[in-house]
Structure 1
């Protein structure tokens, strides 16, 4: 009787688990340009009137898990400058690719509108910043998302972290340093095979503590420093450059933090940026200004503690809705411009583009929420001198060039927005930890039901290679 009860209980449990796991539908397909058949990267795929969504990868492919209760809702595939594709979720057909046709409005018609509207790029951007209190959330909210942190040289991945994160913000009007929090909920992958110059990181760590800029790593001896101290210094340096709090609470969160006097889009925005109206595009039947970003008469400075992160010129694009001046998307680069920064960037990073940032927003309940983040920056990891081999005619500094220069890419896809105050308060009472770089136990059940960013073919190959090398190293 006892065994029979166990059997019945187990059967019921398995049926229940199977129901929970199968209570969602996986939608996968490829989004292409209708005219050129080229893949559309970062196209938005979402269920209308919900926060469920994802974006396409570099190959135009996507994977979206949709709970079955939304089977009769509308799936939308959209990208700025293209006509949207809409279909009920339960009629989605993955056997045919999705093609989006161009959709561009007439700039002349827009500029001839009789009503008083800003006509120049500078005026449109300033109006968009004035409207931020109306277009960004004015009350607290949570966002759930997926983050992929990749560090690589020109040949292979050296570091990979995939995490589920939660972001809390009390409102646009609040101080981000005090009222914006991040928690790392789960970790799916964490592989680190970097060749880190630990003395360099430790020197920077000590400089920050003792406030002595002239301190040099030549004054240090590796055998006198505890390994634990070196590890802590490396972790401190990683958080200083690529930590989640640095990304969300600092200048790079340029729309959310525009209210801060020293923000990139702060009070002195026009002394460091100029904006020129390029054309008017369409997305989901809404007109969008496409505006170029270029330099002004002052350099852009990020003022990162302990790092010469100044002397840049900006370039890129900003996309602003025509009807309510809400910022839809920003594509932003910081290019080394001052003599000192150009020399430093070429020597240490082999590039003059020091920061690439993409911020995409989605509208939900009449407010704009951050939807997708792409942040790329070169990183100083291993600066040990490479000496030419006297036994050969080969310049090893050239041979090793592809291995020496590292850069980091962080991608974040927010897949859920929570505005219920009771749930927000419950979540805030939990322990919060923004440490992206500490591994956590793998939770298989969690990840089976979580929306993530689909890897491109190149990424998939590089991740498989890193996983294999990491396994060999661990063994």
Structure 2
């Protein structure tokens, strides 16, 4: 998909870019995965692993405010016109009256609460079809050095939570850079791409973590509650019961105490069974190599608008050991993928006609990307601000492009 240079220039003029860093007011530490949203719109982004963000604001919304929210902190609202670039935005901790919350939680069974939450698809989640614009980034590192970087803008044709039809993803634009020398000639190809992140939406896709058969194998318990947007959030921890060896998940669910909606989840897979867990992730590998995960961590966040919740952000972090037969040393690879909804609109129409642009759940993004080119295309889109190591890699790529 090519966009004329003149159109790009016009589009760029209609946006103002603001940037900042969100930190804890008490200890000044960066707040990761904080939500940044423009009021009276569906435009949003999230902070990166260093608490930083960049938000492109249409001129028509420059008179509005942005809201910054983070689990366990008070919501803050700031007029866009008053924001200075590189500004540090402080959030104060939300005070939770644990005694009152504990009494409330003790009257509810943790397992029953989770079952109620998973069943609330049509009540508190978006019950209309939506067309979501999302930014997706996927990195592979060999030890600590970037070996592959892929980014994409996609359109998600999100089905209503009340039906069982699967979502579709339309690839708008993708770019990549891969240093195969750092991959040690191993093209570590992991299936899923953007779909892997989409499937972390456990309200839409509970079968990927809490199947009817697996639910009895989990143990659920209440932890200390917290707050977000002045609302009490129940924290439910879960793990598989003892004496059961099949890999299952463990982590925490954050559930709104009023609506019983899932606001976020942070969890990991038990990867102690190397053979079984390897089959779950690795799609292609050379015959003379063993590849198995040593860590598999997930996060999904939801956002509310007009009383309805929807999928907003997810992050997947996978670490793999790669053992070549006949070689003395092993290598460690880390794959991180994240996807953020940056805008959306209600769309009850059928799937767009551009079926050639649809990608399959088995798609490997790096095989569909066109190289790290056409940088002007990204100017009008909100993206997740890259961490310093990725930013450095991007700058190196741009320098190489200028030389060639």
Q: TM-score, normalised by structure 2?
A: 0.83
Answering whether residue 294 of structure 2 is matched by residue 294 of structure 1, we say: no
Using the TM superposition, give the Cα deviation of residue 458 of structure 1 relative to its aligned residue in structure 2, in angstroms.
2.8
Aligned to 2:158, which of 159, 169, 177? 169
**Bigger fraction of residues in helix:** 1
Answering whether residue 307 of structure 2 is matched by residue 366 of structure 1, we say: yes
Could you tell me how far apart the structure 2 residues matched to 1:351 and 1:380 are? 6
Partner of residue 392, structure 2: 461
Answering whether residue 339 of structure 2 is matched by residue 412 of structure 1, we say: yes
Deviations 1:45-94 (A, max 9, x none): 11123221111111111100111111222210110001111112222233
Partner of residue 183, structure 2: 195
Partner of residue 224, structure 1: none
Partner of residue 189, structure 2: 238
**Bigger fraction of residues in strand:** 2
Deviations 1:184-236 (A, max 9, x none): 110243435263667xxxxxxxxxxxxxxxxxxxxxxxxxxxxxxxxxxx7xx
Using the TM superposition, give the Cα deviation of residue 454 of structure 1 relative to its aligned residue in structure 2, in angstroms.
0.6
Aligned to 1:332, which of 248, 267, 271? 267
Using the TM superposition, give the Cα deviation of residue 366 of structure 1 relative to its aligned residue in structure 2, in angstroms.
2.8
Could you tell me how far apart the structure 2 residues matched to 1:79 and 1:471 are? 38
- CA RMSD, aligned part only? 3.4
Using the TM superposition, give the Cα deviation of residue 19 of structure 1 relative to its aligned residue in structure 2, in angstroms.
5.5
Could you tell me how far apart the structure 2 residues matched to 1:46 and 1:19 are? 24
Could you tell me how far apart the structure 1 residues matched to 2:356 and 2:244 are? 40
Name the SS for the 2:352 alignment partner. helix
Answering whether residue 204 of structure 2 is matched by residue 256 of structure 1, we say: yes
Change in CA separation of 1:183 and 1:96 when aligned onto 2, cut-off 3 Å: closer
Could you tell me how far apart the structure 1 residues matched to 2:107 and 2:134 are? 36
Conserved? CA contact 2:194–2:339, under 8 Å: no
Using the TM superposition, give the Cα deviation of residue 285 of structure 1 relative to its aligned residue in structure 2, in angstroms.
1.4
Name the SS for the 1:195 alignment partner. coil
Structure 1 gap segments, 5+ residues each: 1-12, 199-233, 301-310, 388-396
Using the TM superposition, give the Cα deviation of residue 140 of structure 1 relative to its aligned residue in structure 2, in angstroms.
1.6
Partner of residue 218, structure 1: none
Could you tell me how far apart the structure 1 residues matched to 2:370 and 2:133 are? 18
Structure 2 gap segments, 5+ residues each: 282-288
Question: Superposed, which structure 2 residues align to 1:82-161 within 5 Å?
Answer: 82-94=73-85, 96-113=87-104, 119-161=108-150
Answering whether residue 386 of structure 2 is matched by residue 386 of structure 1, we say: no
Partner of residue 223, structure 1: none
Could you tell me how far apart the structure 1 residues matched to 2:255 and 2:293 are? 30
Could you tell me how far apart the structure 1 residues matched to 2:20 and 2:303 are? 21
Conserved? CA contact 1:40–1:60, under 8 Å: yes
Could you tell me how far apart the structure 2 residues matched to 1:95 and 1:409 are? 26
Could you tell me how far apart the structure 1 residues matched to 2:162 and 2:80 are? 37
Using the TM superposition, give the Cα deviation of residue 170 of structure 1 relative to its aligned residue in structure 2, in angstroms.
2.4
Could you tell me how far apart the structure 2 residues matched to 1:143 and 1:44 are? 16
Change in CA separation of 1:122 and 1:298 when aligned onto 2, cut-off 3 Å: farther
Change in CA separation of 1:34 and 1:165 when aligned onto 2, cut-off 3 Å: same
Number of equivalenced pairs: 385
Deviations 1:304-327 (A, max 9, x none): xxxxxxx32422211111110111
Aligned to 1:433, which of 350, 358, 371? 358
Deviations 1:338-372 (A, max 9, x none): 58669999x9568642x211111111233222111
Change in CA separation of 1:298 and 1:358 when aligned onto 2, cut-off 3 Å: farther
Could you tell me how far apart the structure 2 residues matched to 1:160 and 1:24 are? 27
Change in CA separation of 1:106 and 1:122 when aligned onto 2, cut-off 3 Å: farther
